[in-house]
Chains A and B, each alone.
Chain A
Amino acid sequence: MLESAEHHPAYDELVSISGEENVRDGKLDLLVYSRDASPFQFDSPGVVVRPGCTEEVAEIMRVANGKKIPVVAVGARSSINGAPLPRVSGAIMLDLTRMDYLREVDEDTMTVTVGAGLRWAELIHLLKEKGFKLGFRGPYGGNAGTVGGSLSGNSIGCGASRWGGACDSVVGLEVVLPTGEIIRTGSGWNPGSKVFARYSTFNDLTGLFLGDHGTLGVKTEVTLKVYYTPSGVAFADYGFESIEDCAKVMHELQRRKLAEELVLLGDKNSIELLANSYLDFWSGLECILAVIIEEEDEELANRKKEIVDRIAKRDGRSLGTFLSKAHWTDMFNMVQPLFDSGFWYNTCHLRPISTLPETVKGALKIFEKYDVKGRGMNWIISALGVDRSYCTGWITLFMGPSENRELMEKVWGELKQLELSTGGAVPYWCGPLWERECLSRVSPAFHNLLRKIKGVLDPNNILHPTVFGL
């Protein structure tokens, strides 16, 4: 079994807090923990510790703050934006995946409280056994992605069309501050209260820590909204001969809030990659819209499907239910088979649905200019309806052979510029994926406020230093 090197200046303290079996600073361990699911790589952590409870996290933060040692809190590092990777040397990496418990399902207030290191797919499993579902189910990498990680990164994914993104489902948090104090947000500010309401009495401090990329505090427990498992589920796939028609229908369905999940496949190549035989029996097929509906009972779900059908068939044609059903009943497993086309380079962002056609056409021009397919690379263009009426832009590149790396990074850079310059798009998460582009656009007043908040909460700047340029 591998031994720790025991070199890190906080090694002994960490061992005394979390136990020897939960602390590692051997070279192989540090190497592994220096990567996530993005192409980025910076410094390795100096030591990895796997705390088992909030009190351990608080103690570790007090040690780190006292010694002014940087700390990076991570989940399963399945992120595709590089956000959990340490940017400075010698950091303590808090691997929170040991805190993967379900504390309580409260049917009284319809909430579930979990350890921040619990994976979404596991949470869904645990809830299903008790007759509940989540609204937002997790990012498309929800097999491994943790609740805490998704909240730090403003994740979007399954269920977002109806319920919004990861942060929209939060009622309250337990957070360990950089100085080691523990706070509860939402109605949890009152030690005598359950965490049942997010907006209560004071400012919404919950929001301070959502999307913070782990810079302001360590989220240790999360309370989320839950709903009863529905018994009515309906599926529908529609085909379109242009992105304009497809986006138009998506827009209307999203505005009317008809779907639990509304996913668009945005060009012929993406259909070829995911569902090639669909092109065999419909030569003009350019885009597919998959619709998933969940309701209290079957009658309601079917009635909603009738409405969806009426809207979709104005510009498109029914393609049965195979793709939407496969997508929903094999949740979190749609992306991985695409790795066969090489390592992935993502450009996830948010945009108004009406701006999708312009972006898709611009992307296709870039791919043509660089002969992306001819060079053995590939892409998938998709979009997911979110919240009231906007969507994700998910244009993902696949590198093919590693010799393509240089060209891939060029295409990737150009694509990101295009995306941010069309339709007022914004990334939902930042991380090294978008940080340069975002910092060059953010207003000084906004960034100054971020800096001041960070300075107050983290006076020694130990939590994920340099992220957001702080």
Chain B
Amino acid sequence: MNFDGLADYLQQMEKCGRCADCAYSVKISTAKKHVSLPCPIRNVLGFETYSARGRIIILKKLLEGELEIDEDIVQWAGLCLTCAGCKETCLAIEGGIDVPAMMECLRRELVEAGYYLDAHASIEKNVLEKFNPYGEDHERRFEFLNPTPIGEKADVVYFVGCTSSYRRQEIAKATVDLLNKAGVDFTVLEDERCCGSTLFRTGFVKTAKEFAKHNINQISEVGAKTVVFSCAGCYRTFAQDYAPLWNGKKVKLMHIVEFLKRLRDQNKISFASPQRVRVTYHDPCHLGRHMNVFEDPRSLLKSTANVELVEMETNRRYAHCCGAGSGVKKAFPDIALQISKQRLKEAAETQAEILVSACPFCKTNLVDGADGLGIKIMDITEFLANNYTEESTIMEELERELTLGQRFAKYLDNHPKIFADLVPDSVVDFSLFDTLENFEDEKPPLEVFHVVRTEDGITVQEGKANAADVEIAFSPKAVENLISSSDEKQYAKRFGKFYNEPTEETWIDFLLNRSTRVLIRMGYGKFAREAGILEDEDAY
């Protein structure tokens, strides 16, 4: 058979140096990156056949015509979570070699040629017949949500998704509850159907696209400006798989965590736990790696009074998958369960009482694997709805005097020339730590904000960026000194001194989130020079 689509990835495949980072790397201490054995399937099955390096070797042989399509190939193609842990770990090309996209492409071409797993075909059958992958009654989809507005004109559509409609109704109820409490004018679609996520992921793309068109039309009819999702899979599908199908329609797509964070920032909602609780957060692949939303859920949890957020060993862009995605749970339930148990072990090691996630599918698989572990598993919507409070915890902060971090942010805002050499869309986190040890031990910063280089200047934004290129850490004394600089030149000189000759009181350090080579090409080399880091004292 022909692999015309897969052939488009050949150039990427040839950039694989077979270093095996995608299978075996642990970068926590050597590079302060929370990578630990990135491929969940390989971790469970042991053999490298399932890691990205192994997959590229096999895919190249398929393209060279040296492998016949048989049951082994179809099974192997189906047994990938497309979680993108490998892609995120890979440094060979900017953004990483896209093995998940290659696997999805292969699955599509296999399905088109009549090769697929029966379990995946049964999902398509259910979606075609019942408009949801579970084969449940379509007419009863939103029965549990009464009296939520359905099919009305509204600015905001809440796209519920099949799993929250039929298997995790508590998530839909909590989401509706939160939207109501925040006074949001919203509706759900009168005829919401499966978003097609699992079909896109497993290769049944033709059918998935039909459902995409239906959902897009439904949204257009309501006239919504914003669509909100509590399902990470639906969100990713709308944002990425539907992208070519919107035909210029302007609709803002937001996961509920982004939407709630905006409301919280506008002081329209607040959260407080009645008692102290230790929580850890599991990044859903489709929200994190696929959509770059890492910090908003954390920001919501951290701003909930009495909540202590602790991180698992792998987190954010290197978080292990829960094991459910890409049709794996349906076709290989035992493997999905083993992966879930490994993720839950990481959660248990944090000694958190509650494991919070932001995807109904993650919740389902984590609950399935949690037997006897004694950790409570909740979706973030449930957690926040339970901890909603009428009392504002934000205003008090706003009313206070400007903090050191805020004064630093203001200083940078007034001196955009500091960032003039960076290419647009460069993002830098600025974090204040009381000691260098706290930065090195990855303790939470005292304050954090980030700067985004725009086409014509910079914007300074609160909190950690979802995907910063570099995190620069400062001691408070260093910041006080820097913001008293008369101009950019003096700022640069001091910056260089604090970085090159750190003392216990005045120090600057950094953490690189991209390779040095890429950063230098983005202008960070010049930035470093302007900031005084590369200063050659003999030359001046």
- Does B associate with A? yes
Residues of chain B lying within 8 A (CB to CB) of residue A340: 15, 92-94
Spot the interface stretch: B16-24, B135-143, B455-463: B16-24
Partner of A143, one of B24, B332, B523: B24
Other-chain contact of A28, B23, B45, B72, B499 (Cβ < 8 Å): B72
- Does the CB pair B47–A50 fall under 8 Å? yes
A320 touching B516 in the complex, CB below 8 Å, given contacts A37-B19, A331-B31 = no
- Please tell me if the beta carbons of A317 and B536 are within 8 angstroms of each other in the complex: yes
Inter-chain contact B30/A124, CB cutoff 8 Å: yes
Residue A48 CB within 8 A of the other chain = yes
Does A337 contact B525, Cβ atoms closer than 8 Å?
A: no
Contact with B along A349-365 (1 / 0, CB 8 A): 00000000000000000
Q: When each residue 499-540 of chain B gets 1 if its CB lies under 8 Å from chain A and 0 otherwise, what string results? A: 110000000000110011110110101101100011111110
In the complex, B367 has a CB within 8 A of chain A: no
Contact between chains at A333 and B91 (CB < 8 Å): yes
Which residues does chain A contribute within 8 Å of B512, judged by CB atoms? 326, 329-330
Closest chain B residue to A29, Cβ basis: B49
Contact of B529 (CB < 8 Å), options: A281, A339, A401? A281
B30 touches A143 (CB 8 A): yes
B68's nearest neighbour on chain A, judged by CB, is A27
Are B19 and A78 in contact (CB-based, < 8 A)?
Answer: yes
B26 interfacial by beta-carbon distance below 8 Å: yes
On whether the beta carbons of B516 and A327 are closer than 8 Å, the reply is yes
Rounded to whole angstroms, the CA-CA distance of A335 and B25 in the bound complex is 14
Instruction: Evaluate contact between A339 and B536: CB separation under 8 angstroms.
Output: no
CA distance A48 to B39 in the complex (A): 19
A125 B30 Cβ-Cβ under 8 A: yes
Pairwise interchain contact A29-B516, C-beta atoms closer than 8 A: no
- B20 adjacent to A121 (CB under 8 Å): no
Interface flag for B411 (CB, 8 Å): no
Q: Which residues of B contact A33 (CB under 8 A)?
A: 48
Asked whether, in the complex, the Cβ of A1 is within 8 Å of the Cβ of B29, the reply is no
Question: In the docked arrangement, what's the CA distance between A254 and B137, Å?
Answer: 75
Task: Tell me whether A21 is interfacial, beta carbon within 8 Å.
Answer: yes
List, in ascending order, chain B residues with CB within 8 A of A28's CB: 49, 58, 67, 72-73, 76
Q: A77-B20, A320-B536, A322-B533 are in contact. Are A29 and B47 (CB under 8 A)?
A: yes
Task: Determine chain A's interface SS by DSSP, over half rule.
Answer: mixed
A336 contacts across to B, CB distance below 8 A: 17, 19, 21, 90-92, 515
**A295-324: which residues lie under 8 A (CB-CB) from chain B?**
313, 317-323
Given A98-B46, A276-B521: A27 and B31 interface contact (C-beta under 8 Å):
no
- Residue among B332, B518, B535 making CB contact with A320, cutoff 8 Å: B535
Question: Does B54 count as interface, using CB distance less than 8 angstroms?
Answer: yes
A124 to B36: give the CA distance in the assembly, Å.
13
Is B27 touching A333 in the complex (CB atoms < 8 A)? yes
Q: A318's contact among B45, B92, B537, by CB below 8 Å, is which? A: B537
Q: A144-B21, A334-B516 are in contact. Are A342 and B14 (CB under 8 A)?
A: yes
Chain A residues 268 to 297 lying within 8 A of chain B, measured CB to CB, are: 273-278, 280-282
Q: A1-B75, A144-B23, A322-B534 are in contact. Are A333 and B515 (CB under 8 A)?
A: yes
Complex formed: what's the CA distance from A396 to B142 in Å? 62
Give the chain A neighbours of B49 by CB distance below 8 A.
Answer: 2, 24, 26, 28-29, 32
Interchain nearest-CB distance for A188 vs B (Å): 28
Complex alpha-carbon distance, A321 and B496, angstroms: 10
Q: Answer whether A331 and B20 are a contact pair too, CB < 8 Å, given A26-B72, A320-B534.
A: no
The answer to whether A274 touches B534, judged by C-beta atoms less than 8 angstroms apart, is no
A335 contacts across to B, CB distance below 8 A: 17, 19
Quote the shortest CB–CB distance from A86 to chain B (angstroms). Answer: 15
A11-63 contacts to B, CB under 8 A, are 21-22, 24, 26-29, 31-33, 35-37, 48, 50
A266 at interface by CB-CB < 8 Å: no
Residues of A close to B511: CB separation below 8 A = 329
**For residue A119, which residues in chain B have a CB less than 8 angstroms away from its CB?**
24-26
B26-A121 in contact (CB<8A): yes
Does B394 lie at the interface of the complex (its beta carbon under 8 Å from any beta carbon of A)?
A: no
Beta-carbon contact of B48 and A330 below 8 Å: no
Using a CB-CB cutoff of 8 Å, which residues 52-100 of chain B contact chain A?
Answer: 53-54, 57-58, 61, 67, 72-73, 75-76, 79, 90-94
- 19 A-B pairs besides A3-B72, A339-B93 with CB distance below 8 A are A22-B46, A32-B53, A37-B20, A50-B47, A76-B20, A78-B18, A121-B27, A122-B26, A125-B26, A125-B29, A137-B30, A275-B525, A276-B520, A277-B526, A318-B538, A320-B535, A322-B528, A333-B30, A342-B15
Contact sample, A vs B, 24 pairs, CB 8 Å cutoff: A22-B46, A32-B54, A35-B18, A37-B19, A50-B46, A119-B24, A125-B29, A137-B30, A141-B19, A144-B21, A273-B517, A275-B517, A281-B534, A282-B539, A320-B496, A320-B500, A322-B528, A326-B516, A327-B516, A330-B516, A334-B515, A336-B90, A342-B14, A402-B14
